[in-house]
Amino acid sequence: MLKLFSDIFIVIGYTRSTIHDFTRGGFKFIPNILAKAIKKYDGKIEYLDLKKKMSLNRMDLFNEYYNFLDENEYIFDTEESNLLNFIPINMHYEYPFDLLSVIIFISSDNINIIKASLLKNIFFNIPHFKFIIEDNISPSEIIEITNIIHSKFVASITLLIGNKHKKSSSFKEIEKSSLINVIYSNINIDANYFISDEYQKRYPFLFLYKGHLQLMEATEYNTYLNKRIFIDYQADIKHVPESTVILGNLSQIEKKDDLLIIINSDIYKNICSIHRNKIEVCRDCELRMICIDNRIPIKIDNYWCCKTECSYNPYICKWKGEEGYIPIKECGSYEKETGFVPDKEKISKLNKQIWGEDE
């Protein structure tokens, strides 16, 4: 029997699919016809029987697809009696930390609150920290904060600071740390940093991540929002910088349990559960399981969507700026009851014009 290895994961999109290798990492694009055939015949047909079935159509295509799967070690041939030995991977996502990461904007208004919270171990059991530091914060204050956090159990610390600090000898020492990554910003870092045009230009495309934990998390949660928090310049607690909902204020958090109440609340958890299989257009995208899209989902009528269009159009497999790209809104329309409805005929014609073949 032909069998897909248990560590191979397929995501079917509207126009094409992706095949992911948990063990070796990475992914490849594959045609939907191949992805659907794998889903249909996985562990259910012998090689010779499948070859005979395909010989009625295009043997050259069968050979091309089979060789691709075999050479990349996505499939193997085994006796039917062995199939029960290959147990599917449990895709349920669990993470041993209360939060995966926290982004903290350090300003002159909140720096003392941040210091006090770090000393009180409010952020205990969070492995990744990113500090975005306002330009008027002195090097000595930044170093004081890194020394506090460095003494805690953390996996990584990222500092985003202004270019004016680049020549500081203090930061040259910090840069030697394997735990701390220092990034120098070319734009001013102040209270308006996250709404500036320059900041928005940092996100022209989606972030694509290839790890297997990302895939597992994406089956149940929104990978940009889940297990993340952001502390703004006034010490307000939000999901991420783009969020408008304030979950609380750090000045009112006296102990770690107070923070746990926030991240276990419905207002925090409900939006985290809106993964991309629930979001219009995203659910048609072959990249949805590896996408860390910074747009916040909103509910309109009976469906979830985003205020702005994505930079990737999954109906024609083109990124904004690429030749042949057209906006997603030209590939269909939103209906009150059903959400986004792709215009199949138009998309088929567009793909034929762009790629020389039907979608």
Which pLDDT tens digit goes with each residue over 187-216? 777 777 776 666 655 543 445 555 788 899
Question: How many residues in the chain?
Answer: 359
Q: Do the domain assignments include residue 91? A: no
Domain hosting 163: range is 101-272
> Are residues 118 and 173 located together in one domain of the fold?
yes
Q: Do the domain assignments include residue 350? A: yes
175/29 Cα distance (integer angstroms): 38
Cα four-point dihedral sign 217, 225, 114, 120: negative
Q: Do the domain assignments include residue 92? A: no
Least confident of 35-49, 60-74, 345-359: 345-359
Q: Do the domain assignments include residue 96? A: no
> Are residues 214 and 106 located together in one domain of the fold?
yes
Q: Is the pTM of this model over 0.75?
A: yes
The dihedral region occupied by 356, where left means phi > 0, alpha psi between -120 and 50, and beta the remainder, is: left
φ/ψ of 332, rounded to 5, equals: 170, -165
Residue 359 pLDDT exceeds 50: no
Measured from the Cβ of residue 94, the count of other Cβ atoms closer than 10 Å reads: 9
> Are residues 284 and 267 located together in one domain of the fold?
no
Q: Letter for the amino acid at 144?
A: E
* Number of domains forming the structure of the chain: 3
* pLDDT digits 0-9 by tens, 318-354: 999 999 999 999 999 998 888 999 999 999 999 999 9
> Are residues 163 and 260 located together in one domain of the fold?
yes
The last residue of a domain, from among 243, 272, 301: 272
**Please, which pLDDT band fits residue 130 given cuts at 50, 70 and 90?**
very high
**pLDDT, position 49:** 87
216/162 Cα distance (integer angstroms): 36
> Are residues 75 and 113 located together in one domain of the fold?
no
Q: Do the domain assignments include residue 114? A: yes
Q: Helix/strand/coil (H, E, C) string of the chain?
A: CEEECCCEEEEECCCEEEEEECCCCCEEEEEHHHHHHHHHHCCCCCHHHHHHHHCCCCHHHHHHHHHHHHHCCCEEECCHHHHHHCCCCCCCCCCCCCCCEEEEEECCCCHHHHHHHHHCCCCCCCCEEEEEECCCCCHHHHHHHHHHHHCCCCCEEEEEEEHHHCCCHHHHHHCCCCCEEEEEECCCCCCCHHHCHHHHCCCCCCEECCCHHHHHHHCCCCCCCCCEEEECCCCEEECCCCCCCCCEEHHHCCCHHHHHHHHCCHHHHHHHCCCHHHECCHHHCCCCCCEECCCCCEEECCEEECCCCCCEECCCCEECCCCCCCCHHHHEEEECCCEEEECHHHHHHHHHHHHCCCC
**pLDDT, position 205:** 41
* pLDDT digits 0-9 by tens, 2-31: 999 999 999 999 999 999 998 888 899 999
> Are residues 122 and 215 located together in one domain of the fold?
yes
Q: Tokens for 115?
A: 């210091």
Mean pLDDT, residues 156-176 taken together: 80
Least confident of 43-52, 227-236, 252-261, 269-278: 43-52
> Are residues 206 and 113 located together in one domain of the fold?
yes
Mean pLDDT, residues 232-243 taken together: 94
> Are residues 105 and 204 located together in one domain of the fold?
yes
> Are residues 226 and 284 located together in one domain of the fold?
no
> Are residues 113 and 250 located together in one domain of the fold?
yes
**pLDDT, position 70:** 95
